[in-house]
Amino acid sequence: MNPIKVGLLGLGTVGTGVVRIIEGHQEDLQRQTGSPIEVVKILVQNMSKLRNISVDPAKLTENAWEIIENPEIDVIIEVMGGVTGTKEYLLSALDKGKHIVTANKDLMALHGPEILAKAAEKDCDVFYEASVAGGIPIIRTLVEGFTSDRIIKIMGIVNGTTNYILTKMSQEGAAYLDVLKEAQDLGYAEADPTSDVEGIDAARKMTILATLGFHANVSLSDVSVKGISKISKEDILYGKKLGYEVKLLGIAENHNGHISVSVEPTMVKSSHPLSSVSGVFNAIYIHGEAVGETMFYGPGAGELPTATSIVADLVAVVRNLKLGVNGRTMLTAYKEKKIKTDEQISSKNFILLHVEDKAGVLAQITQVFAHYEVSLESVLQHPNANNPKAEIIIITHDAIQASIKKVLMEFESMDVIHAIQSVYRVEG
Ligand code: NAP
Ligand code: HSE
């Protein structure tokens, strides 16, 4: 039996896991695909680096073209990361008729349509299960499991680092910067955490999920993004008092083909299953028109969880090879993209104001809401013993985003409002 020959770009955290799974599960993989699978060449940056896996040194190379141009290699697994150079490698590999498996959400969110179009032109597979929520098989679930349904909402905790930080802030009452430092010391957060804490990593993942779920090419610039760096202990405390947990949620909605996608800190009702997803775990909630509500939970990163998704993609490529049907899947963006305006997006909101504590203030505030036709669900006032200032927490009913923006603009000019401390979307 001829083996399927794999070229691996990268032997870091995920690449190491891929080698371990391919070697450790060889017998099962062979039974499931009908072929032995062999990693024949591995690209690294530094061949003399000490590694926590033993590989034949003859397999290592620092020259990507030795893999891309090797006619013996059937499939390339890309786990090196980065965008510009990686895109060039993968497009060249597709030109040579090689199938691709990648974990690279940055690349797929930014250049997915171009790469998938090239793959279709060359009858090649490009699979990227591990690019969203590492070990949770969410992409195949969306593309295959939900294929007969219409998805109306996807909400995800798709970044483990921020979920770890928010969990610690909630459970221990810790401050954002203290927990971030701890997460960095433990190796959960990167030395430069910007992409995670500012919501960019989650936005890239939501771009991929919204594109697949709604069948339209959603791009990163369509996603409204807010990170967690401004969340205070106070926000979390008041949220809890009212029965909410603050989570960094990716929220993608589709109403009759009109789409909105955001990543933002959100007050999630404690009764909603997303509110209890803690630590570095990920979860994706999908609401289908026919199926109703579903949720998928698991590890969003890590060596072996991520590698299982990659090797599952590899199995799919090999099965397609056997059937001669490579290049026929995952091209699902066949609908015109219509992105909602602020006038079309609506949600409940949590608004925390610092106000003067005197007669008539609440009336002035509620008048502004009434003027812009925003209905209120609840209002809670906290007096402050040390100064003539009070904290008012308002939860609105579903309200048009444009109206909320007008309300907040008017609040900015009111003398009795000292600060608009925070504004969060509310879900659940
Ligand atoms: P990593 O540990 O930093 O490993 C990167 C590997 O690629 C290293 O082996 C490095 O070589 C090699 N490499 C990087 N740039 C290179 C270049 N220009 N030329 C040659 N080799 C190069 O990264 P990772 O955590 O495994 O992540 C890999 C990819 O998977 C990324 O796209 C990431 O977003 C994605 N991903 C990761 C996780 C996770 O849990 N880590 C989860 C889901 C998705 P050296 O070893 O010689 O330095
Ligand atoms: N930085 C990402 C996270 C890793 O924290 O979830 C997986 O993409």
Closest CA to 353 of 366, 344, 343: 366
* Residue 267 scores a pLDDT above 90: yes
Closest CA to 250 of 230, 269, 224, 288: 224
Reported as a pLDDT band with limits 50, 70 and 90, residue 384 is: low
* Distance in angstroms (rounded) separating the CA atoms of residues 174 and 96: 53
Task: Express each pLDDT in 21-74 by its tens digit.
Answer: 999 999 999 999 999 999 999 999 999 999 999 999 999 999 999 999 999 999
* Residue 191 scores a pLDDT above 90: no
138-298: CATH topology: Dihydrodipicolinate Reductase; domain 2 (3.30.360)
Ligand 1 centroid to Cα of residue 79, in Å, is: 5
Ligand 1 centroid to Cα of residue 81, in Å, is: 5
User: Does residue 337 have an active-site annotation?
Assistant: no
Identify the sign of the CA torsion 290, 139, 107, 113: negative
**Is 32 exposed, middle or buried (CB count within 10 Å of its CB: 0-12, 13-18, 19+)?**
middle
In angstroms, the Cα distances linking 227 to 110, 124, 261 are 19, 37, 14
Reported as a pLDDT band with limits 50, 70 and 90, residue 213 is: very high
Crossing angle of helices 84-95 and 105-121, rounded to 10° = 20
* Residue 220 scores a pLDDT above 80: yes
* Residue 332 scores a pLDDT above 80: no
Arithmetic mean of pLDDT, 365-381:
96
- What pLDDT is attached to residue 300? 95
- The CATH code of domain 4-132+303-323 reads 3.40.50.720
Number of H-type helices and E-type strands within the chain? 14, 18
- What pLDDT is attached to residue 382? 78
Ligand nearest to the CA of 160: 2
- Which helix (H) or strand (E) covers residue 211, if one does? helix 200-214
Which is the closest atom of ligand 2 to the Cα of 282?
Answer: 6
Q: Measured from the CB, is residue 61 less than 6 Å from ligand 1?
A: no
* Residue 4 scores a pLDDT above 60: yes
Q: Measured from the CB, is residue 109 less than 6 Å from ligand 1?
A: no
First to last CA, the chain: 54
The one catalytic residue in 205, 226, 247, 348 is 205
Q: Measured from the CB, is residue 46 less than 6 Å from ligand 1?
A: yes
* Residue 189 scores a pLDDT above 90: no
Whole-structure pTM value: 0.96
* Residue 326 scores a pLDDT above 80: yes
Arithmetic mean of pLDDT, 236-249:
95
The set of protein residues with a Cβ atom below 6 angstroms from ligand 2 is 134, 159-161, 196, 201, 300-301
* Distance in angstroms (rounded) separating the CA atoms of residues 202 and 359: 44
- What pLDDT is attached to residue 329? 66
* Residue 330 scores a pLDDT above 80: no
Q: Whose CA is nearest to atom 19 of ligand 1?
A: 45
| DSSP characters over 256-273 | TTEEEEEEEEEEEETTSG
Q: Note whether 391 and 353 are within 8 A (CB).
A: yes
Reported as a pLDDT band with limits 50, 70 and 90, residue 11 is: very high
For the chain, give the mean pLDDT: 95
Arithmetic mean of pLDDT, 376-381:
94
- What pLDDT is attached to residue 331? 56
Ligand 1 centroid to Cα of residue 121, in Å, is: 28
* Strand ranges (E), 242-398: 244-255, 258-269, 281-288, 292-299, 338-339, 346-356, 376-383, 389-396
- What pLDDT is attached to residue 97? 98
* Distance in angstroms (rounded) separating the CA atoms of residues 8 and 17: 12
Q: Which of 107, 157, 159, 278 to mutate to test the pocket of ligand 2 (most atoms within 8 A of CB)?
A: 159
Residues 6+ apart with CB under 8 A from 31: none
Task: Express each pLDDT in 158-177 by its tens digit.
Answer: 999 999 999 999 999 999 99
- What pLDDT is attached to residue 388? 72
Q: Mark residue 163 as left, alpha or beta (left: phi above 0; alpha: psi -120 to 50; beta: remaining).
A: alpha
Q: Measured from the CB, is residue 12 less than 6 Å from ligand 1?
A: yes
* Residue 187 scores a pLDDT above 90: no
- Which helix (H) or strand (E) covers residue 126, if one does? strand 126-127
Q: Report, in angstroms and rounded to the nearest whole number, the Rg of the chain calculated over CA atoms.
A: 24
- What pLDDT is attached to residue 385? 67
* Distance in angstroms (rounded) separating the CA atoms of residues 37 and 3: 5
Closest CA to 296 of 427, 314, 288, 128: 288
346-427: CATH topology: Alpha-Beta Plaits (3.30.70)
* Residue 186 scores a pLDDT above 90: no
Q: Whose CA is nearest to atom 8 of ligand 2?
A: 301
* Residue 421 in tokens: 């401390």
Domain boundaries, the chain: 4-132+303-323, 138-298, 346-427
* Residue 358 scores a pLDDT above 80: yes
Lowest mean pLDDT among 20-34, 102-116, 184-198, 284-298: 184-198
Q: Whose CA is nearest to atom 42 of ligand 1?
A: 301
